[in-house]
Amino acid sequence: MGAVALIDFRSFVKDVPDFPKAGIIFKDITPLLADHKAFQAAISAMAAPFKGRGIELVAGIESRGFLFAASIAGRLSAGVIPIRKKGKLPRKTLCAAYGLEYGIDTLEIHEDAAAKSAVVLVVDDVLATGGTAKASCELIEKVGAKVAGVSFLIELGFLKGREKLAGRDVRAVLSY
Ligand code: AMP
């Protein structure tokens, strides 16, 4: 708790206007990733609400979600599941289409990625419009597993992504 409270996470997130297209303010988290103390404190803060919740698997959303999912899984003594863009997973998949803040895409999961009724935490770096996280939760449920919650580093509150995740336990370390 102490280490988390002492870190000013906002100072490690850089706003990049008009990336990847005009009108988007991209939250660049690479300074946070590059700072050992800040990154570890962020991982702890993202994992903390889900400690003792019986999380068996942490699902990371391609690609920045992967950077957080593996470390959070370590904190929660859980395994990791990749949720990937279309065409990347080698075996039979289930898929879900979704709308991004800047585009449309398809996400996939291995159809046998989790045991039926496994308890899964979904992880990504940024909650924007919520389409990506919503599709990811739906994939976990299509596999037959349970979504215990969704953990983000950053929530862009003005985009109301939480509304797409209504009824789910949604946590974010930073809110803008
Ligand atoms: P969304 O589906 O709109 O919630 O978009 C979330 C996904 O897009 C996440 O995987 C983020 O990495 C990425 N993303 C969307 N908007 C931003 C932003 N303003 N800054 C950084 N990443 C973003």
Q: What is the DSSP letter of 11?
A: G
Most ligand 1 atoms within 8 A of CB, residue of 124, 132, 134, 165 to mutate: 132
pLDDT in tens, 41-95: 999 999 999 999 999 999 999 999 999 999 999 999 999 999 999 999 999 999 9
Coil, strand or helix: which one is 24?
coil
Q: Is the CB of 127 under 6 A from ligand 1?
A: yes
AA identity, residue 29:
I
CA 5 to chain CA centroid, Å, is 21
The pTM (predicted TM-score) of the whole model is 0.96
The span from the CA of 170 to the CA of 49, in Å, is 10
pLDDT (tens digit per residue) in 112-148: 999 999 999 999 999 999 999 999 999 999 999 999 9
Contacts of 158 (CB under 8 A, 6+ apart): 176
Comparing 77 with 5, which gets the higher pLDDT? Answer: 77
pLDDT (0 to 100) of residue 2: 46
Q: Mark whether 64 is an active-site residue.
A: yes
Is residue 96 within 8 Å of residue 139, measured between CB atoms?
yes
Residue found under tokens 């700072």: 35
For residue 4, pLDDT over 90 is answered with: no
pLDDT attached to residue 1 = 46
Domains of the chain: 2-175 (3.40.50.2020)
Q: Which atom of ligand 1 is nearest to the CA of 132?
A: 2
Kindly tell me if the per-residue pLDDT of 16 is higher than 90.
yes
Q: Is 26 in the pocket of ligand 1 (CB under 6 A)?
A: yes
Q: How far is the CA of 157 from the centre of ligand 1 (A)?
A: 12
